[in-house]
Structure 1
Amino acid sequence: MTRLLLRYRRMLVLPTALLLAFVLMTLQARSGSAIADFAKLILLTSISPFLRLTTKSFDITATLWNEYVDLRRVSRDNQLLKEEVRQLRTEVGELHETALEHSRLSQLFQMSSRVGTEAIVAKVIGKDATNWFRTILIDRGADQGIARHMAVVTAEGLVGRVVDVMARTARVQLITDPESAVGVLIQRSRVVGVAAGSLGGTTQIKYLPLMADVAVGDRVITSGMGGIFPKGIPVGRVVRSGRPTSGALFQSTEAQPHANFSRLEEVLVLKWPPSRDLSWADREPLP
């Protein structure tokens, strides 16, 4: 019995003290004796540390619980804010991309109005993986009125011409393809030549007479000859021009295209020329 009391003495002290306090207060209320007052003082003095400890424990527990609840709420709110920020960033990115696309399309339509012919906007959906055949694939084809030999441009300048047409897609040969040929003229001096692609990504201006007035920086535009490309479309600028020392008949001239072929996203297909019978156009046009 003694061992049992010693084992659970801490659990019995507070209930016993509270019981004695109740008994003493009852006696004081009935008799009001000095002995009862003295006993009450001793009892309250002995249980005060336990009461303070209990009160402190409840306060700490309540504080920790409130802080835990607040932390859970803050964590939840933080997660919601992160998700909202992510969604807003996505929307801003989409709006920015839409604005860029609208800007590019606006420039394309301005080019169409300058050329003065009906045009079809097409997106580039594929590019040649090698440098041997410089072509791109667009998402418009015969079903949308695309035909072979139609000129393809961007807001910066000439891109190439349609060489193969399927129902909903078409393949475009770039002017940087060594097999391509475009009738051009030097805008300043009005000298006529033929622009052909090169493996270096530039265009060679062929058939320029040795004494032709050509200088670095001159603007090169389409001549309109050959029946494929309308006249006046920007092609590029002369970056090198010289006269061979051997018995050559023509100048050696090189031009850098205006169009950025590594960043093509949308192009404009010009419904020109009106005639579809252009089998002869597969040959190199003469100036």
Structure 2
Amino acid sequence: MSGIWGLREKRLIIWGLVLAVVVLLNLPAPAAWRVSAECRDSIGPFQNVFSLLVVRTGQWVSRIGRTQRILEEKQQLEVRIATLEHRLRRLERFEIENETLRRQLGFSILSPHKLLLCEVISRGDLSGWWETVRLNKGLADGVASGMAVINDEGLVGRTIGVTARTCDVLLITDPNCKVACETANSGAFGIMRGMGARLIGRAAMELLSPANPVELNYISTTHAIQEGDVVLTSGLGSVFPAGLPVGRVGGVRMHSSGLYRQADVVPSASLVSFRYAFVVMEQKQ
């Protein structure tokens, strides 16, 4: 019975709707307008809410789009800034290198010796004060063992272990490097030798610099010598030409034997960080 009544109810509802539509379509114009107005007024609030939702949704989507574009533009700007900073650092390095090369070229032109410009390609150990360096010139460039090596600041060392394209340089701080020198002020002669490096601190990586890196020995007690005097190569021997700047006297003392004096010499050339050096080939004509 419930199934039959349910079917009848559905039919009654359908017929009622059809009847309502027929009635609405056949209403007089004023009555139809009033019904239409009531319907519009009834659904108006819902239309306002829907319209507001559409507008707010559009604004939200637009903001998301703008935010995404801003983020993309920010990333592009960051990439451009990083690229420009990299180029600026390269230009600064090139400028420093060009200035160094110009200084070396000027020194080479003014030097009374024929010089061969070389670049340091490796250093001898991990300490802070290198006692050997390797240059990028060798036998093919006319370099031989036992040639003096200088830079625009002063004496660096002498060549050893020469190959076709490279040569090693024994620095003046090495104990095996001995140089005949004289002081420019008093003409006092002596033999200079390197004193090597002294461990400062606990770790091997803390080898910072030699204590008294270079020492001048066998100075006559009759010659006046004092702190600050300029030290030059004397030209005695066959390796180092006369007149190459070596450094300045840092301190003077009498040897324990009392037969001669000794002096600490502060090298003119920075032996830790130089990048270019000259091999002294011969005297200019």
C-alpha RMSD of matched pairs (Å): 2.4
2:223 is matched with which residue?
Answer: 212
Structure 1 counterpart SS, 2:225: coil
Indicate the larger mover: 159-168 or 68-77: 68-77
Provide the C-alpha distance between the structure 2 equivalents of 1:73 and 1:27, rounded to a whole number of angstroms.
Answer: 58
Indicate the larger mover: 124-133 or 137-146: 124-133
Change (3 A) 1:253 1:138: same
Aligned length: 248
2:9 is matched with which residue?
Answer: none
Asked whether 1:264 is paired with 2:274, we answer yes
Contact 1:198-1:204 at 8 Å conserved across structures: yes
1:113 is matched with which residue?
Answer: 109
Offset of residue 263 of structure 1: 0.7
Contact 2:180-2:191 at 8 Å conserved across structures: yes
Structure 1 counterpart SS, 2:177: coil
Offset of residue 273 of structure 1: 6.1
Offset of residue 47 of structure 1: 0.9
Structure 1 counterpart SS, 2:173: coil
1:48 is matched with which residue?
Answer: 44
Offset of residue 124 of structure 1: 1.1
Contact 1:134-1:173 at 8 Å conserved across structures: yes
Amino acid aligned to 1:171? D
Which 5+ residue runs of structure 2 have no aligned equivalent?
Answer: 1-20, 198-209
Offset of residue 130 of structure 1: 6.7
Provide the C-alpha distance between the structure 2 equivalents of 1:250 and 1:106, rounded to a whole number of angstroms.
Answer: 43
Change (3 A) 1:254 1:43: same
Asked whether 1:89 is paired with 2:100, we answer no
Provide the C-alpha distance between the structure 1 equivalents of 2:89 and 2:124, rounded to a whole number of angstroms.
Answer: 29
Correspondence for 1:163 among 151, 160, 165: 160
Provide the C-alpha distance between the structure 2 equivalents of 1:252 and 1:118, rounded to a whole number of angstroms.
Answer: 33
Contact 2:131-2:196 at 8 Å conserved across structures: no
Structure 1 residues 126-141: aligned runs within 5 Å: 126-129=122-125, 134-141=131-138
Structure 1 residues 1-287: aligned runs within 5 Å: 32-33=29-30, 35-129=31-125, 134-200=131-197, 201=210, 202-244=213-255, 246-272=256-282
Which 5+ residue runs of structure 1 have no aligned equivalent?
Answer: 1-19, 275-287
Offset of residue 180 of structure 1: 0.7
1:11 is matched with which residue?
Answer: none
Structure 1 counterpart SS, 2:143: coil
Amino acid aligned to 1:137? R
Contact 1:120-1:268 at 8 Å conserved across structures: yes
Contact 2:189-2:220 at 8 Å conserved across structures: no
Contact 1:162-1:173 at 8 Å conserved across structures: yes
Contact 1:115-1:233 at 8 Å conserved across structures: no
Contact 1:238-1:255 at 8 Å conserved across structures: yes
Provide the C-alpha distance between the structure 2 equivalents of 1:114 and 1:86, rounded to a whole number of angstroms.
Answer: 42
Structure 2 counterpart SS, 1:165: coil
1:8 is matched with which residue?
Answer: none
Provide the C-alpha distance between the structure 1 equivalents of 2:260 and 2:106, rounded to a whole number of angstroms.
Answer: 36
Amino acid aligned to 1:79? Q
Amino acid aligned to 1:255? V
Structure 1 counterpart SS, 2:113: coil
Provide the C-alpha distance between the structure 2 equivalents of 1:182 and 1:99, rounded to a whole number of angstroms.
Answer: 36
